[in-house]
Amino acid sequence: MKLLLLIPLISFALSSCAQQPKTHPVMNNSNEQTIQLSEKEWKEKLSPEQYHVLREKGTERAFTGKYYMNKEKGVYVCGACGNELFTSEMKFDSHCGWPSFDREIAGGKIKTETDYSHGMIRTEIMCARCGSHLGHLFDDGPTETGQRYCVNSLSLDFKKDSTGTSVNK
């Protein structure tokens, strides 16, 4: 009898210890409101890997990101706040090891800043809503825009198109 009482208690204890998935602090797509959380709050909302890239301006290893070879139709959103940044039609394979886009969604979704780190001069791209680091912008893209938004997969989430069709690029 005592054993029967312990089974649900042990089951509850084990399930409450399981790591819960991280969720966006905000999931609307309005760019009107900026999000300002403390670094402690960001650490609670993001996985350690996401925190390193999005908040500490880290970089994931080339050719390892979840969205590097993604061919599905949909919208790429900020991994920290859900701000819509790029569509699958803007994505192209630049062979650089990270997801690449030739433009951003209109409306000031991304802000830029000169980055002098690592002995280079680059243009850093950040989410305009929450200020999270996304990657860098280069003027060497092969498409008609001539731009390459080189983005860490860890900086993104993907909202699949409801039709579920794939993009053949």
pLDDT grade for 162, boundaries at 50, 70 and 90: confident
Q: Which one is predicted more confidently, 16 or 131? A: 131
Please check the confidence at residue 27 and state whether its pLDDT lies above 70: no
pLDDT grade for 165, boundaries at 50, 70 and 90: low
pTM above 0.75, yes or no: yes
What's the pLDDT score for residue 32? Answer: 57
Q: Quote the CA–CA distance of 135 and 126 in Å, as a whole number.
A: 7
List residues with catalytic annotation. 150
Least confident of 8-12, 94-98, 115-119: 8-12
Encode 141-164: b = buried (16+ Cβ within 10 Å), e = exposed.
beeeeebbbbbbbbbbbbeeeeee
* Average pLDDT along the chain: 84
Domains and CATH numbers, the chain: 35-160 (2.170.150.20)
